[in-house]
Each structure stands twice: as C-alpha cells, then as structure tokens.
Structure 1
Amino acid sequence: MKEIVTIQVGSYANFVGSHFWNFQDELLGLADSPESDQIFKSHGLNMDVLYRTGETPQGILTYTPRLVSVDFQGSLGSVSSRGTLYNEIPETPVDTLTWTGPVTTHTSQPLKKNLFLQSLYLEENANLGSSRGCESENSDSHTEVQDEDIVQSLENEVQYWTDYSKVHYHPQSLYELSGLWSEINDFNNYGIGREAFSGGQHAEEINERLRFFVEECDLPQGIQFVVDDSGGFSGIAGEFLENIADEYTNIPVLLYSVHSPDSGMDSRNRKLAISRKLHDAVSFSKLSAFCKLIVPVGLPSLNTSRMSKYLCLEDRKPYHTSAVYASAIHSISLPFRMQPLGPSAQLSNTSGAVKIKDLVQMLAGQARQNMVTILDIAMPAPAFTGTQAQQSLLEILQPLTPEIAEGVEDMQALESMTVHGAFASGMQKSHSFEVKDAVQAAYLNAVERPKFSHLSIAQCPLPIPLPFPSIFGNLIGRNGELLDTPISESTSRGSLEVHSVPMAARLRSSNAVLPFLENRLANLRKFGLARGALGTELLRNWGFGKEDAEELGEALSNMVTTLNPASLESSDSD
C-alpha cells in the first residue's frame, strides 16, 4: 500500500482540512450503513491510504487520519489536543516545599461544546451503550428538528475549525504552538513565522510528530500539505518543508497554499500593503522551493465568482469558503486512493488511478519543468448529455487559483482532471466510458486544447455530511443535479436538503498562471530589490539580506522564464 501523510499548517488550512476529513468520515460511515446507496458501499477507494489503524491502552481499535495539524494555542476550541479516543492521564499536582508564602491559582473554564459537538458526544455514548434513554414515539421527528437546530447553530456560531469536525484524531495529530495565541493580530508575515518555528521546541516537536506517521508507513507515496500562506504560518511551513526535504528526499510533497477571501483584501495603509505584497512574493518563492508541485488556492471573492450561479457563499465566513476548497482537494486527490481496475474497465467504479509521483511527472516533469498548477472546479458538475452539456463541462469549470489569465491558448498545457458522481441524464449515473467519451468530445470541440490530458473517473459523488454549510442554491437538487427551475423559495440549502454532489476538478500546468507569477516578481523587485526600495529594511527584519532577496527574485524569474521565454529577452533589453 502507498500511504499519504497529510499536513495542515495554519488556521485557514485547518478550516479546509476539517471539511476534507468530514468527507472522508462520511464515506466511511456510508460504506458501513445498510441504508446507504450502493455507490457509497462500493466506492472503490482505499481509505487506508489516508488513515491508520491503532489501538488505545484499553485495547480499543482505532482508525484515525494520518495527519499532523499545526495551529495557534487555543485554536482547538472545546476539543482536546489529544483527541477523544485516547484517555488523557490527569496531571498530579506537585507540592512546592520551598515556598511557604501564599499561592494564587488562576484557572479558566473549558469552552462549552456547541450543539453539534454535544450531539456527537451523546450519539457516541449511545452507541457504546453507556447512556441510552427511553425513545419516544416521536423520536424521528425529534432527530429531524435537532438536525435543523444543529445546522442553524453552525451557520451562526462557528469560531474554530473543530466546531464542525466529526472526526476522531490521534494524540500525535493536533499540535498547538505554545506561546502563540489565536488573538495575535501581528502574526502576519513570513519572517515572524520563520522565527516562531525555529525558536524553542516547536521545530523538533513538529518534526517528531511527522516522523511518527511516516515511519509506520510501508511505502509512502507522498505528503499532502495544506498551508495558510496569508501570514506567519507560511514561514512555519517553509522551515517545516525544508526539514522534510532534507529528511525525506524520496517522498514528493504536493502543496496547496490557501488564502481566505479576507486575507486577500487590499489595505489602505501603504506600509501594510507593501508588507503584504512582499510577504506574498517571499512566501511563494520559499514554499515552492521545497515541494514537487504547488497549487495556489484562494480567490479574492467566491461570492462574485461564476460559482455564485449555483452556490450561496459568504466570503467573510471561513466555514463557507473553506468548504469549497476542501471539496476541490477531495476531488483532485481521489486518484491517489483509487483501487486497481477490475476485470472490466467499463463496469469498474473507478478508473485512472495515479500516485502523487505520477501526477508530479505528468504536470511538472515534462520538458517545461513547471511546478505551479492551476486548480479548477465544477461544483456541481453538469450532466453528460448532448453537445451543449459536453461543452459546458469546460465552460463551467471555475478557477480557484487567483490572478490567472482567461482565454489563453497554450500549446504546451498539461492537465489532469477528476470527475466523480456524474449523471448521464436525469438521475441516471454515468458509466466510466460515458464520462470518458463526453470529456474527449468536449476537448475536441474546445478552442483551447492541452498538449496532454489525463482523466480519472469515479462513480461515487461528494457526500455532504451534516456539518457542511448551507451554501447550495435552489437550482441544486437532493443529489446535486442541476435544475431548470428553482426547487424552493429559499436561496440557500444545506446538508438536510442536498445529500451528495457530482464533482469535476482539474489541475493544469499552463502559462495562464503567468500573471500570478509576474505580479509577485514585480512586487519583489519594486519593493524589495530596487535601489532605495521601501521594503528593503522590512525584508532584513524578516531575516533576508540582499543576497537572500536576490535569490528569491531569481527563483521567481526562472518560473516566469520557463513559461514565457520572451520575458527573458525583454528583461535583458531593459
């Protein structure tokens, strides 16, 4: 088996990760439920790729994500950093014999669990038989009302990413940065994160947690790394990635650098605006140096994107926006855990399985050597019927990577697409060969065609767990089908109305990403490298001298030149 270890660094990265693991937990639950659809029972995915088996000191078997999560101290809300499966040994107070004066003890009350976490606790106790009350005749209606209350409370009360997490974590998974609290507002640049990671015991403790998961793997295929790169956490991730590159030279890293919409808003303060632009340039240059493939994710606004036709998203709610990004990462990562094809490819529930190394070679291992890819998503994916539907698949794909060029023709473009849970027509699920034919037809009819494209297909759609936000519009049906007329007067629908969604996601290596790279290079040159640049002292405070800054600029310049050789000529002429 080829395992994957997942790393989440930063607040927003953990918001994304919480949704991602909820999808996996929902798949596990549906596979075991006698009432679920057969598609979920035979999804054709090897969940052991992402999960590990274990045992508590009491001999209870466990199945937990192979995950290392890093965040502020106090970022876990009412959840313990040791999780809930393994009993925590209470600390025994030690008497101080050398002090005879008065002692004052300050304690804080633990945060109260929200309605969703309370329901999880009661449900688990009921399943264990430790607390089961008498069920009334109206128990079904009571459960329905309770679910409605839970959904409503999550929409209004989510503060921490653990508030909607339905997953059990291993004690080695959740790491809080002691001394760094979630109220800190100035943890906003690469330098401060870099210093925080190297100082104290953080570096060794986090590396040791990763070592715990990697060393128990038989044959790890790669590391799936999600980082909130809008502030200091990118500095932590950069130092962490450098250690990974040194210690695990043969394990490829697929890095998703995620931005929340709030983090992309322009500042009226000129100094802060320059600091943010320099941070983005430094962060991207450093992070990309220690991974095999980097995927920038995070639009300035999801609410005003093309996705608003079918989704009702509030940009200021990380609970909302992170759900979309997590859906995309779930979809694009499906090929990493697909089971091998059966005797008949046409009857198989999955096709197009690849490993992380294969994906890297596809998108970044060609002559171009481009390591920056664009992530597109269709949520929900359209039905594959008729020429119009075939063309709309490519047209409906929404880029989640910011600052990219639209309508660019790139003869050297490389793509990898995943489609899962798609409909053929009406409510009929499409077979692999039908999806393949439709996608091929869409590319043949497209004006812009990639040099190479790979397609992975699964019949299992995206499951929508109870704590998923109410972001679906009224043109989306119960199973994620697109409707011609609104299904209700309500503008937003959630997990109680929509149970699954067909998805399409695509990674593409294309020169459409040039504006993203050129903007970062231009900002670094203007504010950090030019004579008398306003940000030179700022970079020095972050630990980057003149030579270090020039190396960052050279790395960005090489990326631009790789995609656009003409830029080298214009640079030389300047």
Structure 2
Amino acid sequence: MREIVTIQVGDFANFVGSHFWNFQDELLGLASDPESDPIFRNNNLDMDVLYRSGETQQGVSTYTPRLLSINFKGSLGSMSSRGTLYTEGSSSRSDSSKTWSGEVDTQRSKPRNKNLFQQNLYEEAEIEDKDIVGCLDETVECWTDFSKSHYHPQSLYELNGLWMDSQDFNNYGIGKDVFSEASRGDEITDRLRFFVEECDHIQGVNFLVDDSGGFSALAGDFLETMADEYTNIPVLLYSLRSPVSQKKTVSSKLHDAISFSRLSSFCKLFTPMGLPSLSGSKYLNLGDEKPYRSSAVYAAALHSSTLPFRMQNTSLDSSEVSNAMDVNTLVQLLTSRGRQNIVAILDSAMPIGKELEKTLLTDLLTLTPEVTEDVEDNLSAESMCVLGALSSEDKEALVSEVRNAVDACYEQRDNTKPLFCNLSVSRCPLPVPLPFPSIFGNLVGRKGEILSSPVVSDSVYRGSLDVHSVPVATRWRSSSAVLPFLESRMGNLEKLGIQWGAVGSDVVREWGFGREELQEMRENMSKMVSELSPHHFSESEDSD
C-alpha cells in the first residue's frame, strides 16, 4: 500500500479540497456503475491511496478520505463536525468546556439551511439537476455547500474558541499562537496520528494551506511538529491564494516573505498556486472568480498532477496508464538535477485540444504567480501528466499516441527544452460532477472536446449538464523561471523588515520576530536565489 494523507488548512484550501474530493467521489461512482463509460470502469487507479475503509458502530462499512481539514469554528455550514456517516455521540460542547469549573455562557447560532444541492444529496427533497446547478453559484458560502463526499469524524476540525471573521485573520502575526493555544496543537496532532498510524506504508502528505493570512502561521507550527514526529514522510505543500485575497500592502508583503520562509523550510516541495486572475484560460468563463469557481481550476490541476501517485503499477506499454510514481520519486526528479530547488511551478490546461503536438505547451497556463516565461534554463526538470486526451471528438487517444505527441511538442522547443522531462499518461479524463461550477465556454463539448464552432446557447457558461468529462494536462517545473517569486519576497523582507528604519519594522516586531531571525530567513532565501541563478553553476564549474 502507498497511502497518502491529505491536510487542508484554511478557507480557500478547503474550497479546493472540496472540489478535489468531489472528483474522487465521482470516479468511485463511475467505476462501479455498469452503465458508465468503460474508460471510467477500467481506470487503473488505486483509490485506497487516498481513502480508508472503516465501519460505523452499527456495522455499516464506510470508505472515506484519509483527510484532516482545519478551519474556523462555524465554517462547516450545515454539516456536522462529525461528518454525515457517524452521527452518534455528538456533543454541543467543545472539549475545553468540560474541564472548566466556572460559569459557561453558551452562544448558539441558528443552524444554516441546506441549499438545493444538499437537500437532494441527503434525500430531503427530490430536485431536478438543472435547478441544483442554477442555484449553486448564488448559494455557495462555504466549502461544504457543494461537497458530495462523506467524511470521517476525525477529519473535520474546527478551531474552538477562535471566533473571527476571515477578513480579520489576515496576517501571519494574528495566527502565530493559534496552534499552541487551548490544546489545539495536541488535538490536531492526535487527529493526524489517527490517519498516519493506520497506514501500512505511507508515501507522503499532500498539505494544502490558504496562506493569505493567519492560517499560514498555524500551518507552519503544525508542519514543524510533523517534521519532528514523521521525519521520513515527504510533504508536498500547496500554498493557495484566492483571487479576492491578493493585496499589496506593507503588511501583506512582509506576510508573504515570512510565510514562504517558514512553510518552505518544512516540506520537500513547495508549490505556490494562486493568480490575481484566471482570465488567461482560453476555454473557460470564470466570471467574477468567486472562490467556488476559481478553486475548481486549482482542484483540477491538483487532481491531474497527483494522479501518478495512485496509478496502478503497470508496464510502460500499457494501453491505459503509463509511468506511475510515488511522492518521493517526484521530489527526487524535481530536486536532484544538480541543485536542491524545492520551489516548483505548476502549469495546467483544461481542457486540452486533440492536436497535442501543436497546442499542448502553448495551452498550459501557469498557476504559480510571479514567474518569468520563456526563460532559458539548461538545468530545468519537468514532470507532466496528461489524462483523457482525445484523438478525435469522441475517441480517447492511446497512451502511445499521447507520448508521441508530447515528444514532438518538446522537440519543437529548441532553446527552452528541459534537461529532463517525465511524462505520465492516463486515458481516464477528469469527470465533471454535478456541483462543479458552470465555467466552460461554448466551444467545449460533452467530452471536453474543442468544438469547431460555438454551441448556440442562452448562456456563455456551461457546466456539468453540458460537459461530462474533460481532458486535462498539468506540468510541474523546477526552473529559474520562479526567480521573480523568490526575489520579491527576499527583497521585501530586506527593505521592509530588516533595514534600519524599515517601514515595517514595527509590524514584524508585533508579530514576534527579532532582527536576527529575519536575517536568517533572508539568508535562506538568498541561497535559493543563488542556486537558481543562471551564473551560479558556471561559476561553480570555473572554481573546480
């Protein structure tokens, strides 16, 4: 077994995670449906990598994500913190109130009403799919509003005693002691231990964090605890930002620098994801980019890029999947080509056209902010995953066809060809579940194919009723193209927090950071920048 534990910390991370688990739930349903497309019934994916088998006290078998979700108190909307399968024995009091001998003032908010999707999901009402899809864009307020998965009671952790609006929880300092206060750290660590200790051979942790505010500090403390307890388990960290959280004040610039320095020191691979706008997608109409809509794009990239971790081990000439790998193999691939760069760029294309050899690389949209394109880096390494590619409007391409097309695509790159590129292929496309947002344009067909002429429709937004699956491609890059991301954080830390008389010196002091600690952070970032510099290795070779 090659289990993966997933951790989601913060609001936007849970929005992304909700879509991600909807994809997995949809795959499970299609795989067991005798009337579904054979491409889903024979997907050659080992879902036990992400899921755990269990049993309720009534003896009912369960199959739930190996997940730990952390968020504000009240962020679960109408869902219970015990999930939907294990309902017995719940308590309205937090654990901390049981040890308090004084008076208890209970403040109870009115339960939130379920939207049409949830009413239909829990069989409280029979509602037509078109009405469900139509209501979601207006009614989604939290990530559980569109979640179709069932969760284990250990999965959903609310930060008891922290009653705060997300807009006020907006910087590193405000979250600095949240993990250690009120026994939260012990409670969170115990929940993680529950999932890790039942694994036979854990291959890694997928750690999603909304790092735009105080959750970054909580995640940093949690990661430090994990590093002490699980020394040999690699962590893939996804640093996520919603479009609405992109601000450029002195405080936010210092937050970005400190957050990156802290989080990157406790993971094997750090992948920033979050653009101010996703308008660069050719075939998507994202509208005002609500978290419900933008998070779906990042979740699709997360699903595709991590698919090799749960592919069944098959031969390279398999007709269904090619080139499975584990987390550690990916880390070695991206960090062992002559330098120890742990910051990766993630690109995605959804959907992809049938002429891969002509359009694949140009259709890839960089989801990592502040990167330089068309950079020449002779030491770059890439890992690409293509799933569900089509050779015609209604026919899935063979694995060999995809490999040949991608090879041809790379041959055309000349100066920007990477030193090394890994390719993983699956014929199984990304399924589009019912609560997926209506973000596809009118050039996208039922199987995600690119149509020769637009569909005539009253709306420019097409969703799960019109598009049932889509081919997706993602690419991880270890490249000097990420230098602007690193240099801006290093420069802002120096200019705004370290220099004598810096305008942000009071801010970092309030957050509890001394000058020596900040200088150490800057030094670590300087090493990363130096290692990625185009002149770094030529100078090293001259000195040998």
Return the TM-score normalized by structure 2. Answer: 0.94
Alpha-carbon distance in structure 2 between the residues aligned to 1:43 and 1:444? 30
Matches within 5 A, 1:109-508: 109-122=110-123, 146-181=128-163, 183-266=165-248, 273-303=249-279, 305=280, 307=281, 309-342=282-315, 345-384=316-355, 389-447=356-414, 448-489=416-457, 490-508=459-477
Contact 2:72 2:164 in 1 (8 A): yes
Contact 2:82 2:90 in 1 (8 A): no
Larger radius of gyration: 1
- Match for residue 536 of structure 1 among 495, 505, 510: 505
Per-residue deviation, 1:108:
3.2
Per-residue deviation, 1:488:
2.0
2:542 is aligned to none
Contact 1:302 1:315 in 2 (8 A): no
Per-residue deviation, 1:483:
1.1
Query: What's the secondary structure of 1:122's corresponding residue?
Result: coil
String of CA shifts for 1:232-261, please: whole Å, max 9, x gaps: 000010000001111000100000000111
Query: What's the secondary structure of 2:71's corresponding residue?
Result: strand
Per-residue deviation, 1:316:
4.0
1:56 is aligned to 56
Per-residue deviation, 1:105:
6.9
Per-residue deviation, 1:367:
1.8
Alpha-carbon distance in structure 1 between the residues aligned to 2:502 and 2:164? 32
In the alignment, residue 111 of structure 2 is paired with which amino acid? P
Per-residue deviation, 1:565:
6.0
In the alignment, residue 467 of structure 1 is paired with which amino acid? P
1:557 is aligned to 526
In the alignment, residue 81 of structure 1 is paired with which amino acid? S
> Structure 1 pair 290/106, CA: closer, same or farther in 2 (3 Å)?
closer
Q: Which moved more, 1:524-533 or 1:107-116?
A: 107-116
Kindly tell me the number of residue pairs found equivalent between the two proteins: 529
Per-residue deviation, 1:92:
9.6
Contact 2:209 2:219 in 1 (8 A): yes
Return the TM-score normalized by structure 1. Answer: 0.89
Alpha-carbon distance in structure 1 between the residues aligned to 2:278 and 2:92? 50
User: What's the % identity of the aligned pairs?
Assistant: 58
Query: What's the secondary structure of 1:167's corresponding residue?
Result: coil
String of CA shifts for 1:85-117, please: whole Å, max 9, x gaps: 012325599xxxxx9x9x997543311111111
Alpha-carbon distance in structure 2 between the residues aligned to 1:20 and 1:438? 28
Query: What's the secondary structure of 1:159's corresponding residue?
Result: coil
Contact 1:315 1:321 in 2 (8 A): no
1:71 is aligned to 71
In the alignment, residue 409 of structure 1 is paired with which amino acid? E
String of CA shifts for 1:319-376, please: whole Å, max 9, x gaps: 000000000000000000000115xx44431111000000000001232111011000
Per-residue deviation, 1:537:
1.8
> Structure 1 pair 481/546, CA: closer, same or farther in 2 (3 Å)?
same
Alpha-carbon distance in structure 2 between the residues aligned to 1:105 and 1:405? 53
Query: What's the secondary structure of 1:201's corresponding residue?
Result: helix
Query: What's the secondary structure of 2:287's corresponding residue?
Result: coil
> Structure 1 pair 406/172, CA: closer, same or farther in 2 (3 Å)?
same
Contact 1:82 1:172 in 2 (8 A): yes
Contact 1:561 1:568 in 2 (8 A): no
Q: Over aligned residue pairs, what C-alpha RMSD do you find?
A: 2.0
> Structure 1 pair 91/491, CA: closer, same or farther in 2 (3 Å)?
closer
Contact 1:347 1:431 in 2 (8 A): no
Contact 2:8 2:69 in 1 (8 A): yes
Alpha-carbon distance in structure 1 between the residues aligned to 2:181 and 2:321? 46
Per-residue deviation, 1:80:
0.3
1:131 is aligned to none
Query: What's the secondary structure of 2:182's corresponding residue?
Result: coil
Contact 1:19 1:322 in 2 (8 A): yes
String of CA shifts for 1:259-287, please: whole Å, max 9, x gaps: 11111144xxxxxx000000000000110
- Work out whether 1:88 is the aligned partner of 2:59: no
String of CA shifts for 1:181-209, please: whole Å, max 9, x gaps: 35253211112212111111111100010
1:137 is aligned to none
Query: What's the secondary structure of 2:502's corresponding residue?
Result: coil
Query: What's the secondary structure of 1:255's corresponding residue?
Result: strand
Contact 2:352 2:473 in 1 (8 A): yes
